[in-house]
Amino acid sequence: MNSKTPLSAQEIALELGLDPRHGEKLVYEHLRHIAKTIRRQSKGKLSLYMIPPRCRNCGYVFKDLDKPRKPSKCPRCKSQRIDPPLFKIMSS
Ligand SMILES: [Zn+2]
At 26-76, the pLDDT tens digits run: 888 888 888 998 899 999 999 988 999 999 999 999 998 877 888 999 999
Q: Is the pLDDT of residue 3 over 60?
A: no
Supply the pTM of this predicted model.
Answer: 0.78
CA of 74 to the centre of ligand 1 (A): 5
CA of 73 to the centre of ligand 1 (A): 8
- At 83 the pLDDT is 94
- 26 or 77: which carries more pLDDT confidence? 77
CA of 52 to the centre of ligand 1 (A): 14
CA of 84 to the centre of ligand 1 (A): 13
> Distance (Å, rounded) from C-alpha 19 to C-alpha 30?
14
> Distance (Å, rounded) from C-alpha 52 to C-alpha 63?
6
CB-side neighbour CA atoms (13 Å) of 38: 23
Q: Is the pLDDT of residue 79 over 90?
A: yes
CA of 33 to the centre of ligand 1 (A): 30
3-class secondary structure, 64? coil
